[in-house]
Structure 1
Amino acid sequence: MVIELRNEKETAILVGCQLNQLDDFRFNYSMDELASLTETAQAEVLVRTSQKRDRVHPSTYIGKGKVEELVQLEEELEPDLIIFNDELSPSQIRNLSEKLQARIIDRTQLILDIFAQRAQTREGKLQVELAQLEYLLPRLVGQGTSLSRLGGGIGTRGPGETKLESDRRHIRRRIDEIKNQLETIVHHRERYRERRKRNHTFQIAIVGYTNAGKSTLFNRLTAAGIYEENQLFATLDPTTRKYVLPCGYNVLLTDTVGFIQDLPTTLVAAFRSTLEEVKEADFILHVVDSGNPDYFNHQKTVQRLLEELEVSGTPMLTVYNKQDIQHPDFVPTTNQSLAMSALRPEDLRKLGMTLEHYMKQQMEHYDVMLPAHEGKLLATLKAETIIDFIRFSEERNVYACQGHVHRDHPVFSQLREYHK
């Protein structure tokens, strides 16, 4: 006899608290985003419920009457999870767990769970585990014996599957181990970055709100073949590939993890080493989904996080992506921008030419006459500088070359003796 095992989705009730300073549009969008996060975590949303309050209830997040209403809703729908739209304090989780039968998950735990599913590299997995452990540490009281059992389902992936003991010393010891391992990986990446700098390779980082289309753009420009999907946090681990501009100049392009409103502080801290790729970039491509009704706040969220990373001074081009499904109310908010669709080849070429234009502004112009025997120097110019014009003169047996080069590139000093 063959028994078919069906992997049924967990079911969830979503709970939000709308404070007075938050208008209906912003609150509803936040709840929509929570529903998208829930679906990304492979759960089915049964119903949403919310309450307007002056401030969050210190003991139960929502008011006592709303908690009673939630108890009745739980009896009727029998969900596996009740997911709250903000980060809950340890006491709020404990008090709610006493009244409700389903597992209590907050927005932070939900995001951490998605990251636990998506991490592919050793570094990514370690960073997620570190963030989860630092989240769990102050919440051990009130979790009962659940932490010492094998986990299964949303909010228990990652370290929950490694028989987490409810012993603070054990968790702190594991946190120290992970930090030491991450330090080794960070040093390894730093050596890579130093090598790239020695090779004077121009580095461009792609940043943006989650699901803005960064990975789609990255794949179209580099043929990298990394995972792309219309869902939140499709990319977690940074990927760097060579990208050849229309003029033939080679740059390094890095795809990074997407940002989100209320990104858990533990995650920002854990992924700081990954985000160092952004800090080391010579240029930033900020991708914005112009088809999203909340594009403006997405843009502000990313800009705020870039300020936290202290990279707001790095030259940047804002790419308003998904022009083919642009929202009717969309209005660009910066002049240094380009509206395009990553799915249109002509737009990709236009992006490459726009990048060339802005890169030239950071470089020095050269106009030289190279003797024909300087073949090695000419090859360096073609590969490591932006060439605007090149022509061979048979009469004088020289190459007339014009272009742009980084001032700190070794070839810049070599060119001085050949200037017209």
Structure 2
Amino acid sequence: MTTTEEENTLQPVIIAGLDNNDPSFAYSMEELANLVAANNMVVQETLTQKLDRPNAGTYFGKGKVEELAQLVAETDIKFVITNDELSPSQIRNIEAATKATVVDRTGLILDIFANRARSKEAKLQVAIARLKYQLPRLRTSMNVCLDQQTGATGSGFTSRGSGESKLEMDRRTIEKNIAHLKEELEAISKSESTRRVQRDKAGIPTVALVGYTNSGKSTTMNGLVRMFGEGEEKQVFEKNMLFATLDTSVRSLTLPDQKQFLLSDTVGFVSKLPHNLVSSFRQTLAEAAQADLLIQVVDYSDPNHKEMMATTEKTLHEIGVKGIPMVIGYNKADKMEDVVFPSREGDNLVYSARDEASLLALVDIIKEKIFTDYEIHDLLIPFNDGQVVTYLNENAHILSTDYTENGTLLNVELHTADAARFAKYFAD
């Protein structure tokens, strides 16, 4: 199927947005178009307006609403996607004027998340966010509203009470559903928290990949898992699309020098990420909040990568991730001309997640940051304590081995806990 044929099978939409003198407005509209594509739709028309602030009733000014209505009539496009979250009355008024279905940016992102959720945890998180989004948007039908105002038999107050009761019933139903889903999510979260506590007790450091959606976090993780993980079955899903995966994946990596750490791949961010989603995914993002090191993966080939970095840092702040050391990984250097990679400047790395030398350079930075509690010692171990030599060969980095008449002489890099444990063998 050609690109044109594929586009013809997708739902055409109009995207529309207000420019409130925001320097990143053009970028946000471009991103909205990408979100539309991620939801199996295609942008056919774009409408924008410069306005200091949104119109309280119709988002756009009156003239622009009329222009939008005319555009809908001329193109017969049934969906309008706006670049901001709208109030229920704004959606109703635009729909009344245009006779089209209006979906705001928040609703669009929630739809994408609902379609991409795979694990039970992700599905619960999205369901909670969608219900919270729907709650203030509940309204009685137009017929009920008319009955309330013009009851022909003089029963207007009765109808009004009936309408309000229905609305209250719907609201209570949604609130109960939210409470029930939260209980289910809490049970899963407790299980995840228990696993994190167990990992913490094991003393294994953790590294979390964070960043914008589609920046290459999953590709980075898969590359490292292939080199230092437990096999292909531990690969995570990756695809060149926004929000390819919503689940946090954790993998154990063991380096050639026996050092071990846990690597997590978290859900990606996007600008204007709905507050309810951030709140619902807070537990999923706990891997980042409790990591020893963050690696912010950036799509260096994207001209808007600075805005993406700002969004990532803002979102991390919103979920309470503070004071954790961060390394910036400028990924996708292979897509750029005249860029040498891997190249390091301080703690930051220009790299390609598909390049082995790049991943090794990234590992070098990780090791410097998280394995600071290691010491190098000479140990002279008597031959009758051969089990100590076996343990160190399996769990430590042996730099050299020599055999003397008094025992095995090892020059070894030890974790401080092992250094204290085997201090009696120190020969240095």
Q: TM-score range by the shorter chain?
A: 0.7 to 0.9
2:82 corresponds in structure 1 to 84
In the alignment, structure 1 segments of 5+ residues that lack a partner are: 1-6, 146-163
Q: Supply the distance in 2 between the matched residues of 1:54 and 1:335 (Cα, whole angstroms).
A: 42
Match among 348, 352, 358 for residue 363 of structure 2: 352
Q: How far did residue 374 of structure 1 move?
A: 4.7
Asked if 1:9 corresponds to 2:10, the answer is: yes
Q: Secondary structure at the match of 1:274?
A: coil
User: Per residue, is there more helix in 1 or in 2?
Assistant: 2
Q: How far did residue 398 of structure 1 move?
A: 2.2
Match among 412, 418, 421 for residue 414 of structure 1: 421
Q: Name the CA shift for 1:165/1:398 in 2 (closer, same or farther; >3 Å).
A: farther
Asked if 1:208 corresponds to 2:211, the answer is: yes
1:188-227 correspondence to structure 2 within 5 Å: 188-223=191-226, 224-227=234-237
Asked if 1:393 corresponds to 2:403, the answer is: yes
Q: How far did residue 144 of structure 1 move?
A: 6.5
Q: Supply the distance in 1 between the matched residues of 2:55 and 2:392 (Cα, whole angstroms).
A: 65
1:245-324 correspondence to structure 2 within 5 Å: 245-324=255-334
2:182 corresponds in structure 1 to 179
The 8 Å contact of residues 292 and 326 in structure 1, kept in 2 or not, is answered as no
Q: Over residues 358-389 of structure 1, what are the superposed CA-to-partner deviations in whole Å (9 max), with x where a residue is unaligned?
A: 223x324241405255555555555555x262
Q: Over residues 295-334 of structure 1, what are the superposed CA-to-partner deviations in whole Å (9 max), with x where a residue is unaligned?
A: 112112212222333333112211111111248899x998
In the alignment, structure 2 segments of 5+ residues that lack a partner are: 1-7, 144-166, 227-233
Q: How far did residue 282 of structure 1 move?
A: 1.5
1:108 corresponds in structure 2 to 106
Q: Name the CA shift for 1:352/1:329 in 2 (closer, same or farther; >3 Å).
A: closer
| Partner AA of 1:304 in structure 2 | K
Q: Secondary structure at the match of 2:267?
A: coil
Q: Name the CA shift for 1:235/1:91 in 2 (closer, same or farther; >3 Å).
A: same
2:229 corresponds in structure 1 to none
Q: Name the CA shift for 1:121/1:99 in 2 (closer, same or farther; >3 Å).
A: same
Q: Supply the distance in 2 between the matched residues of 1:404 and 1:338 (Cα, whole angstroms).
A: 28
Q: Name the CA shift for 1:41/1:344 in 2 (closer, same or farther; >3 Å).
A: same
The 8 Å contact of residues 379 and 409 in structure 2, kept in 1 or not, is answered as yes
2:162 corresponds in structure 1 to none
1:72 corresponds in structure 2 to 70
Q: Name the CA shift for 1:382/1:177 in 2 (closer, same or farther; >3 Å).
A: farther
Mark the structure with the bigger radius of gyration. 2
| Partner AA of 1:173 in structure 2 | K
2:164 corresponds in structure 1 to none
Question: Any runs of at least 4 consecutive aligned residues in structure 1 with deviations exceeding 6 A, and if so which?
Answer: 142-145, 327-330
Let me know the Cα RMSD of the aligned residues: 2.7
1:150 corresponds in structure 2 to none
1:102-141 correspondence to structure 2 within 5 Å: 102-141=100-139
Q: Secondary structure at the match of 1:272?
A: coil
Asked if 1:19 corresponds to 2:20, the answer is: yes
Query: Identity rate of aligned residues, in percent?
Result: 38
Q: Normalising by structure 2, what TM-score?
A: 0.84
Q: Over residues 104-132 of structure 1, what are the superposed CA-to-partner deviations in whole Å (9 max), with x where a residue is unaligned?
A: 11111111111111111000000000000
Q: Supply the distance in 2 between the matched residues of 1:299 and 1:416 (Cα, whole angstroms).
A: 46
Aligned residues: 388
